[in-house]
């Protein structure tokens, strides 16, 4: 049987650069000889892509209720786990996901005011309680992040939320980093992309090396 793989997630507020850094780390790991599987949450699977469209489009109707929003994210996440994350880990791959469970805890928990423990319990009941081995949280002040994603108009529904909402999300992420300090590593996201990529690589390399000697 192959050795179980390693699950890495990238988190951060919109505009933090996590999607770009997730791709960079995947490419670096591939060059170093690792088997790598990449995912986007929500997305990647056929169901996930359809749900992503529903969640991010700015329609004329009102926004979904917070628990309805959670249910949509959870449906996409369960599908992603079954189709890609769990099979990838079973084959020994390093699975890298752009967003995962911590996004729900920050955006719907801290941002919308839902109870985080209830959100975690819901994920466990739905069979989505798997936690990452390592989470790289790219932290950036909200004003700086907004300047970044404002350059890529039009904004999606989440990006268009008020500044106060994004600040609650950021503070929620930082609180999660304290709560789950063994797996969440906070990296300032304001250095140049190449420098930040080296920091992400350094942390991932160290954790992967530690796994081999345990």
Q: Which residues contact 183 (CB under 8 A, 6 or more apart)?
A: 131, 132, 133, 134, 135
- pLDDT score, position 157: 87
Distance CA 90, CA 99 (A): 20
**What's the CA gap between 31 and 68, in Å, rounded?**
41
Helix (H, G, I), strand (E, B) or coil at 7: strand
Q: How far is CA 13 from CA 19, 51, 169, in A?
A: 11, 20, 7
Is residue 146 within 8 Å of 20, Cβ to Cβ?
A: no
Backbone angles phi, psi at 190, to 5 degrees: -85, -15
Encoding tokens for residue 39? 């995912």
Element (H, E) at 110: none
Q: Which residues of the chain have pLDDT under 50?
A: 213-214
For residue 2, the model assigns a pLDDT of: 62
* Single pTM value for the model: 0.94
Rounded CA-CA distance 134/119 in Å is: 20
Report CA dihedral (50, 55, 60, 62) to the nearest 10 degrees.
140
Domain ranges of the chain: 6-213
Alpha-carbon distance of 19 to 39, in angstroms, equals 10
Task: Report pLDDT for 212.
Answer: 61
CA–CA separation, 172 and 96 (whole Å): 22
Q: Say yes or no: domain 6-213 is CATH 3.30.300.160.
A: no
């Amino acid at each position: 049987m192959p050795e179980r793989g390693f699950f890495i997630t990238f988190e951060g507020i919109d505009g933090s650069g996590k999607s770009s850094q997730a791709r960079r780390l995947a490419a670096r790991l591939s060059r170093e000889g690792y088997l790598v599987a990449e995912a986007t949450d929500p997305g990647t699977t056929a169901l996930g892509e359809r749900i992503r469209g529903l969640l991010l489009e700015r329609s004329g109707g009102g926004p979904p209720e917070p628990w309805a929003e959670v249910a949509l994210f959870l449906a996409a996440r369960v599908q992603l786990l079954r189709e890609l994350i769990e099979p990838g880990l079973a084959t020994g791959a390093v699975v890298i996901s752009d967003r995962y469970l911590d996004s729900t805890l920050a955006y719907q928990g801290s941002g919308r005011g839902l109870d985080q423990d209830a959100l975690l319990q819901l994920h466990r009941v739905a069979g989505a309680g798997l936690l990452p081995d390592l989470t790289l949280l790219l932290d950036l002040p909200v004003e700086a992040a907004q300047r970044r994603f404002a350059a890529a108009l039009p904004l999606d529904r989440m990006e268009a939320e008020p500044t106060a909402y994004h600040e609650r999300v950021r503070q929620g992420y930082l609180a999660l980093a304290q709560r789950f300090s063994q797996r969440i590593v906070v990296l300032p996201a304001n250095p140049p992309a190449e420098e930040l990529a080296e920091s992400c690589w350094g942390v991932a390399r160290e954790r992967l090396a530690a796994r081999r000697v345990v």
